[in-house]
Amino acid sequence: MKWDKDQNKRLMPWKGEKDPYRIWLSEIILQQTRVEQGLSYYQNFLRVFPDIKMLAKAPESKVFKQWEGLGYYSRCRNLISTAKKIANDLSGKFPSTYEDILALKGVGPYTAAAISSFAFDLPHAVVDGNVFRVLARIFGITIPLDSTKGKKYFTDLANELLDKKNPGRYNQAIMDFGASICKPANPLCDQCPFQKTCFAFLNNKINELPVKGKKLIIKKRWFNFLVMESDNKLAIQKRSGKDIWQQLFTFPLIESEKEITQKQILSMAEKNKWLIKNKYEIVHISPVLQQQLTHQLISSRFIHVIIKHKPAVKNDWKWVPENRLGYYAFPKLMNIYRDLL
């Protein structure tokens, strides 16, 4: 708290904020996004949706367009669902207890603690990556932070240390301390007030703590996109189901288990009755483009073809002029391809 008062220079627009809508919005955006990237999204959301009722009544496509590029689109779906619940069922009034906040869709213990402590001064410790790191290094905790035992141990310790009279300020201070002093790599130990007592510093274990137990397994997938043009319009389709990019738009997609040739892709498109053999013109074939997701590596190729007659396909296809594509929310990979062109 003394470090926060005297030395903390980390400025962010939501610091000191008491409006639960703004705090909730910032926390949902920052759940799996770096502050540097999330800042502009937060500001744009508030400009377009200044309060929760405006967000709740907005067309979902407009909300997804604002979210475009942030990834982890289930956060956006939860954002919409929760906004509608609060606006319609709670008369637009944000819940004010930890338990009621925790019951909201898309809100876990960390986010509930952040909203309840920042907006309502309730004594709940926020335990994010920064807090895990600070506590693990200072106290020499070797329990894997991603284990059930680890999560409980760190949460109990954080709540024991919490300043119950100033929970919001304390939570912000320890998170800022982890982000600016006790950083993941190259921490500023020479500026740290815990230098004389920090286990990691005294035992040369800074780079060993905190401990993570699970290794991430990356699934590799191949997406082959048909950029189909007819009458100066391009075919796009809305993704549904439980897979990635749900409710976003892509070009018609053929997924394969490995990289396949242009000839194979076009043959499969003909089999799907998207293309008629010898009745289309190939305009452009992209190099292999990639997008890294947390658990998946997507490799893709885009084949742009011009056709004379639109295929008879499902209703989830739309034919859109190229200059209108910007009105639809696309995954990052689509925009990488469009930027390439």
Q: How far is residue 147's CA from residue 340's CA, in Å, rounded to a whole number? A: 42
Between CA 187 and CA 157, with CA 200 as vertex, the angle to 5 degrees is 100
Amino acid at 191: Q
Q: How far apart are CA 17 and CA 149, in angstroms?
A: 33
| Closest by Cα among 176, 186, 127, 191 to 11 | 176
Report residue 76 as tokens.
């956006």
How far the first Cα of the chain sits from its last, in Å, is 51
**What is the rounded distance in angstroms from the CA atom of residue 70 to the CA atom of residue 21?**
19
Bridge partners of residue 290, in order along the sequence = 299
Instruction: Tell me which amino acid residue 286 is.
Output: S
The catalytic residue among 17, 27, 36, 208 is: 27
The residue count of the chain comes to 341
**Cα(307)–Cα(327) distance, rounded to whole angstroms?**
24
Check if 270 is active-site.
Answer: no
Residue-by-residue DSSP string for 103-114: TSTT--HHHHHH
> Which residues, 6 or more positions from 198, have their beta carbon under 8 angstroms from its beta carbon?
137, 138, 189, 192
Q: Rounded to the nearest 5°, which phi and psi values hold at 170?
A: -65, -45
Which residues are identified as catalytic?
Answer: 27
